[in-house]
Structure 1
């Protein structure tokens, strides 16, 4: 049987067209507290869990909490130690149950409507919408799911080998340059920060790195 070589007759062998590489998606980063929301979600959660009286007692019975913060300005340490003071060595599972109750009760009441309008305008095929926050990632994650965030990046709480809360964070407070470190850690060299929204000095580095930085643009 004679086999014809297609190359002899000036024809290329039939091949399946290669798939077009997926275009890199542009990242749009929103701070959470005070930007997407009209209040601090961490304090709102503590109020929900223990009430304002409980928070006041924590500072009165352990004045070193405030003294340490005034001496170091370490917001991350204040956050983790206050949470531990109020909730103790709670298991991660029980903490997530408490957070779920808080997010279900609060629902969309935290959000600024004009901020959500901007969030929705970035719901485009070539965009990745990310929340980057100093609040605990566990706390903000349910709210991120509510509004369709592609990813929530936040401060990581510390848990011991038995899965119980500790008074220390797992890593750094996600604020300032740490926001950019976390973004680069996740997106690497492919990071294309199209836009960023923030409302405090803790967002300065993220706003400066974005193609379009928006500072305190929401009033709703």
Structure 2
């Protein structure tokens, strides 16, 4: 088997997709009658904290995942299948083509996101990305979500740890690739962006845009339409 010599890493929310997976999931659960309308404002408050750089990801996880504590795993799996089907038409053609271009070159591809793994997985499947590095969600002995995070979140500098651990399992390291890309919208991802040979800002926030322009990084503004 030919070993891949190039690595392509993708953030998810506001990078591959022009929306927030957690917000889409919150709206879905409101539609299912699991949450009431106040859940949307609560989630938005967490998003504002994220932009301000003050987000407690553990608190956000408890708020958004905690209400699912008593949902039987088969019911949750059914909801996730429906959720994936609803998102299928919301994938932008431009980012689907971007992922496909890396696949066609034989690059090793992974999504690296702070989004809970169980929510990010349907989108990884839709994009056809085989490797997903995301924030783990703890479960109890019966398989029910507890609302707590399992292990280090895949967030900020921890993203590098997740990538290195994954590559170690494959017998690689970041430095072993001829070229490596990371696509992201957020300045919170600067540690991983600075660790690859080809950082790319996608729909960047103000701080990342300024950093990208100052350092000559490409800035992509893919059309949001699917």
Q: What is the TM-score of this pair, normalised by structure 2?
A: 0.74
Contact 1:32 1:131 in 2 (8 A): yes
Q: Quick one: structure 1 residues 128 and 35, their matched pair in 2 at CA, closer, same or farther if it must change by over 3 Å?
A: same
RMSD: 2.7
Aligned to 2:94: 114
Of residues 70, 73, 76, the one that matches 1:95 is 76
Q: Which has the larger radius of gyration?
A: 1
Contact 1:81 1:167 in 2 (8 A): yes
Q: Quick one: structure 1 residues 58 and 128, their matched pair in 2 at CA, closer, same or farther if it must change by over 3 Å?
A: closer
1:40-62, Cα deviation, whole Å (9 max, x unpaired): 011101111125972515878xx
Aligned to 2:146: 166
Q: Quick one: structure 1 residues 82 and 55, their matched pair in 2 at CA, closer, same or farther if it must change by over 3 Å?
A: farther
Q: How do 1:18-97 residues align onto structure 2 when only pairs under 5 Å count? A: 22-51=2-31, 54-56=36-38, 73-97=54-78
Aligned to 2:158: 178
Structure 2, unmatched stretches of 5+, are 203-219
SS at match of 1:157: strand
Contact 2:66 2:148 in 1 (8 A): no
SS at match of 1:35: coil
Find out whether 1:218 has 2:200 as its counterpart: no
CA distance in 2, matches of 1:150, 1:131: 9
CA distance in 2, matches of 1:78, 1:218: 31
Aligned to 1:14: none
SS at match of 2:61: helix
CA shift, 1:129, in A, is: 1.2
CA shift, 1:113, in A, is: 2.4
CA distance in 1, matches of 2:74, 2:56: 25
CA distance in 2, matches of 1:178, 1:207: 12
1:195-218, Cα deviation, whole Å (9 max, x unpaired): 110000222112111110001223
Contact 1:131 1:153 in 2 (8 A): yes
CA distance in 1, matches of 2:184, 2:12: 8
CA shift, 1:173, in A, is: 2.2
Aligned to 2:112: 132
Aligned to 1:195: 181
